[in-house]
Amino acid sequence: MRSIKIGTRNSPLALWQAREVARNLQNNNYKTDITPIISSGDKNLTQPLYTMGITGIFTKDLDIALLHKEVDIAVHSLKDIPTQLPENLEIIAVLKRDYPQDVLVRKSTSKNKELHELKIATSSLRRRAFWAKHYPETEFFDIRGNVQTRLQKLEDQEFDATLFSLAAIERMSLSIEYEFLPIMISAPAQGVVAVTARADDADIKEYFKDVDHRETRICIDIERNFLRTLEGGCTAPIGAFAEINEKDEVRFIGRLCSLDGKQSIEIDEIFTWNDQDNFGEILGQKVLEDGGRTLMQEIKLHLQ
């Protein structure tokens, strides 16, 4: 039996995710070998992602390694994977979603400040816009790097707090205080570990049939199709989160926001899932028809 070569970014969180995929494979008696690869997004930690003009900046180098057959699979945070994958690559499995939420982490000297008083460090357009929707006077700062790097910057620099994916904190077992934020809607597919492979590698796809988590797959397909329908290849402040119960009833919440947070179009629907309808596209079209098309055009102009 072949040993499955797993490509991953070399950050502590990415390596945790790769080991989790390896554990799932080893439980089915497959051999694994983890190969860290430095991504373009990890090489430049000063420039905000939205100014770099590259789709899939954290996945591009792993895509190349896959296509060159240097690795058999690549492991990613699914929210980093563009909705349009390179030719002959596909998402062959997703692990069960664990922690989809965004959380606020303050520096020790800012514990008593009100939310509207905080200086916030985040390079995410979504997090900035969603925060500004409620606290429009907020001063924002750019921050890049892995979880540990950003925590150190939080203590060393002049801002008061930053925003993290809860998955990053919990998966790293970090003992830090955080606050849940009802004002936020997660990035599409946040909190999900995904496996990509070459579409023509039938053996690898067979190995992962029992790893792919059905309920998570249904939800992230809805979220990513919603994103694809709205985006049209443009980075924008978009949130999407779907939950499904044992009766295949789905609750979906989505939001498209202007960059400054002043305009917001939201959707909150409950429906019964089936495998014929593209619910993400249907929901995305509703937002576009409710003013989202004009808003997306304005966002694209601002980001040019």
Q: What is the DSSP string of 260-297?
A: TSS-EEEEEEEEE--SSS-HHHHHHHHHIIIIIHHHHH
Q: Mean pLDDT over all residues of the chain?
A: 91
Quote the pLDDT of residue 57: 63
80 is catalytic: yes
Do 90 and 207 belong to one domain?
A: yes
pTM of this prediction exceeds 0.85: yes
1 pLDDT band (50/70/90 cuts)?
Answer: low
Quote the pLDDT of residue 267: 98
Do 52 and 65 belong to one domain?
A: yes
Structure tokens at 25: 């494979």
Taking residues 245-269, report their average pLDDT. 97
Residue 187 lies in a domain: no
Quote the pLDDT of residue 49: 41
Q: Give pLDDT tens digits for 87-142.
A: 999 999 999 999 999 999 999 999 999 999 999 999 999 999 999 999 999 999 99
264 has pLDDT over 80: yes
**Distance separating alpha carbons of residues 132 and 91, to the nearest angstrom:** 34
Q: Give pLDDT tens digits for 22-37.
A: 999 999 899 999 999 9
161 pLDDT band (50/70/90 cuts)?
Answer: very high
Quote the pLDDT of residue 43: 45
**Residue at which a domain ends, from 180, 200, 225:** 180
Which DSSP category does 142 fall into?
-
Residue 126 lies in a domain: yes
232 pLDDT band (50/70/90 cuts)?
Answer: low
Residue 172 lies in a domain: yes
54 has pLDDT over 70: no
Quote the pLDDT of residue 47: 43
Lowest mean pLDDT among 51-65, 99-113, 175-189: 51-65
Lowest mean pLDDT among 98-107, 224-233, 283-292: 224-233
145 pLDDT band (50/70/90 cuts)?
Answer: confident
160 has pLDDT over 70: yes
Contacts of 45 (CB under 8 A, 6+ apart): 144, 145, 149
Residue 39 lies in a domain: yes
Taking residues 58-74, report their average pLDDT. 91
Quote the pLDDT of residue 53: 40
Do 253 and 265 belong to one domain?
A: yes
Taking residues 140-147, report their average pLDDT. 88
Identify the CATH number of the domain in which residue 8 sits. Answer: 3.40.190.10
Residue 234 lies in a domain: yes
286 pLDDT band (50/70/90 cuts)?
Answer: very high
Domain that includes residue 61, residue range: 1-95+192-212
Do 73 and 130 belong to one domain?
A: no
Contacts of 88 (CB under 8 A, 6+ apart): 67, 198, 199, 200
Quote the pLDDT of residue 46: 47
Q: Among the options 63, 72, 80, 102, which is catalytic?
A: 80
Quote the pLDDT of residue 44: 42
Residue 74 lies in a domain: yes
Do 55 and 196 belong to one domain?
A: yes
Residue 48 lies in a domain: yes
Contacts of 133 (CB under 8 A, 6+ apart): 183, 257, 261, 262, 264
